[in-house]
A and B are shown apart, each in its own frame.
Chain A
Amino acid sequence: MKRGRLMAALGAGAFCLLALAPFVWLVLTSFKTQLEVTAIPPTLWPGGSLEFYRSALTRYGLMHFVLNSLIVAGGTTACTLCLGVGAAYALARLRVPGRPWLMGALLLVSMFPQISLAGPIWRILQAVGWLGTYQGLIIPYVTLTLPLAVWILTSYFSELPRELEEAAMLDGCGRLGALVRVILPLAGPGVFTAAILVFIYAWNEFFFALLIMTRRAVQTLPVGIALFQGQFTMPWGEIAAASTVATAPLVALVFLFQRRIVSGLSAGAIKG
């Protein structure tokens, strides 16, 4: 038993190293100078120059990508949760005919290949004139994140005892009142978990962002980072700096809320 534990710890250490080392290398690169980036043998420990951050901010407009990403990811999270909470409550608590089918249909949506949606969504948005607008990107994101949110929230709502709402309703709350005043506060952790996962999805998504955000003024971070171009060479330092900025909030979320993320992902995947 003891030996098993030791091996597990060693294995876990190895996995940590594999997972973190390449990423740490990228972060270190962002603090180098141009000479240090291309040096052979590589500079393992950078001098701590902030040159690339300055350049990413001034020459590549990093801040405006960050702002766009915040708007899109924030907007998506808010809309998905509003729609998702209602739908999940109905599925968990109210008599809905064909409930397993609805849940199955939602699961199906989360498995659609994006390429099969891309052309039609692009044409719909073009017809409405929403290509290159925030709402044009937020709407597909909401659609694609709803299944995950509804699955997570339904499983959280189902676990709360029914007596709570019945008591609230006896006290004169309507169904909606009970949802807002009793269920939501208690299911807070579940809502928060769904919010984290939806935010990460929208912050990271690239395919639709590339298609829909045709104007530079509205492009999100992933699109910006993918399209960084130097005049003569690849601007690796600026890419590393922008990547570090794009990733820092996510790494913080993961280390702060690891437990929630794990439970949310396995609720979405396993509870089926």
Chain B
Amino acid sequence: MTIPAPRHGEKLLAWGLLLPCLAAVCAFAFWPIVYSMVLSLHRIVLGLPGLGEPFVGLGNYARLLSDPTARASAGVTLIFVAVSTLCEVALGTLMALALDKSFRGRGLVRAAVLVPWAIPTVVASQMWRFILNDRYGLLNWLIFGDQVGSYRAWLAEPGWALAAVISADVWKTSAFAALIVLAGLQTIPRELNEAAALDGAGPWQRFRHLTLPLVLPALAVALVFRTMDAFRVFDLVYVMTQGGPANATNVLQFYGYKKMFAEGFMGYGSAVSVMVFFMVLAVSLIYLRLVGRRLLRGDAR
């Protein structure tokens, strides 16, 4: 009768099982981050291999600092991230509060609000583009009715275009924030709420002094996840506005893509991508300080 495998055999098995996963992650996630930093120090123009790939030191970064489009793009990205994340977490919290109560058909409702999260972002983008259409879009008709003369081209006006992309993102991902907050809500024992109600606390008081403090960790997690994801916005911009009009929706992820693949400036585009990486890293370090080590604690619970 064999008894549990000897210890070093077990270690070997552990590494054998982990290795493929770690290898994939190292080769296609960690190494590319390093490699993009290397690329950003070279002048590389796709389609002109004759030029070679000369080392230019920090030249690309110097150019980046004096590039007004890049600066505007960073601004647009920050506005997009801040506004969409705040709206999503706020709306998601409301949604979670509504879904936390038990009523008939709650499962169906939960599935229904998940639909926007599940559909491809490209589909959501085309959908909004159609609804916002300047000649026969549903939104124009809802606002202006039959007065075709006053129909607006929402996606052709800088302010409205950014608002449209943000709204589309909020529509698509609030449910995700709601799920995380909901999971937090469900760890709060019901008795607490009932006891507070018996003591005469009104709904707002109960929310403010009981629910909110207890659900705060989940809110923070939702905020972190949504922020990181908002930095990655690409599909909405690519389909709805192509970064326009007048760069009003030209978020960094799209700008970097355009530089690298549409215009072929691989080196310069890499500098943009390294900047995005450090922006995300900075934000996540700030969050980590605020939320504490909750995120990195492993799943020991």
- Bound pair: A and B? yes
Interface of A toward B, CB cutoff 8 Å? 1, 4-5, 7-9, 11-13, 15-16, 18-20, 22-23, 25-26, 29, 37-42, 83-84, 86-87, 89-91, 94-96, 99-100, 102-107, 109, 111-124, 139-140, 142-144, 146-147, 150-151, 154-155, 158, 166, 169-170, 172, 174-176, 200, 203-204, 206-207, 210-211, 221-223, 225-226, 236, 239-240, 243, 246-247, 250-251, 253-255, 258-259, 261-262, 265-266, 269-272
Distance in angstroms from B49 CB to nearest chain A CB is 11
Bound: A42/B31 CA distance, A: 52
Contacts of A23 in B (CB 8 A): 115-116, 119, 127
Tell me whether B1 is interfacial, beta carbon within 8 Å: yes
Q: Which 4 A-B pairs have the closest CB atoms?
A: A120-B32, A8-B101, A86-B17, A266-B183
Q: Is the CB of B203 within 8 A of A19?
A: no
Tell me whether B11 is interfacial, beta carbon within 8 Å: yes
Bound: A221/B257 CA distance, A: 20
Q: Is the CB of A11 within 8 A of B98?
A: yes
Contacts of A19 in B (CB 8 A): 112-113, 115-116, 171, 175
Q: Is the CB of B123 within 8 A of A119?
A: no
Contacts of B21 in A (CB 8 A): 83-84, 86-87, 146, 150
Interface size on B, residues (CB 8 A): 113
Q: Is the CB of B138 within 8 A of A42?
A: yes
Q: Is the CB of B295 within 8 A of A272?
A: yes
Bound: A176/B203 CA distance, A: 54
Q: B238: nearest residue on chain A (CB-CB)?
A: A226
A176 in contact with B256 given A107-B295, A142-B24, A258-B114 (CB within 8 Å): no
Tell me whether B25 is interfacial, beta carbon within 8 Å: yes
Bound: A83/B39 CA distance, A: 30
A37 in contact with B24 given A23-B119, A100-B298, A109-B29 (CB within 8 Å): no
Q: Is the CB of A251 within 8 A of B238?
A: no
Tell me whether B55 is interfacial, beta carbon within 8 Å: no
Bound: A236/B127 CA distance, A: 9
Distance in angstroms from B140 CB to nearest chain A CB is 9
Distance in angstroms from A98 CB to nearest chain B CB is 11
Interface of B toward A, CB cutoff 8 Å? 1-5, 7, 10-11, 13-18, 20-22, 24-25, 27-33, 35-36, 39, 94-95, 97-103, 106-116, 118-123, 125-128, 130-131, 133, 135-136, 138, 141, 145-146, 148, 171, 175-176, 179-180, 182-184, 197, 203, 218, 221-222, 225, 228, 231-232, 234-235, 238-239, 252-253, 256-257, 260-261, 266, 269-270, 272-274, 276-277, 280, 284, 294-299, 301
| 26 sampled A-B residue pairs with Cβ under 8 A | A5-B101, A12-B98, A15-B94, A16-B112, A23-B116, A42-B136, A86-B17, A87-B22, A103-B296, A103-B298, A106-B25, A115-B256, A115-B272, A119-B32, A119-B273, A120-B33, A124-B32, A146-B21, A211-B261, A225-B122, A225-B123, A236-B133, A243-B120, A251-B115, A251-B118, A271-B299
Bound: A151/B297 CA distance, A: 12
Q: Is the CB of A116 within 8 A of B24?
A: no
Q: A14: nearest residue on chain B (CB-CB)?
A: B98
Q: Is the CB of A270 within 8 A of B280?
A: no
Contacts of A90 in B (CB 8 A): 13-15, 17-18
Q: Is the CB of B148 within 8 A of A40?
A: yes
Q: Is the CB of A38 within 8 A of B136?
A: yes
Q: Is the CB of B13 within 8 A of A270?
A: no
Distance in angstroms from A213 CB to nearest chain B CB is 13
Contacts of A142 in B (CB 8 A): 24
Q: Is the CB of A254 within 8 A of B115?
A: yes
Bound: A146/B113 CA distance, A: 26
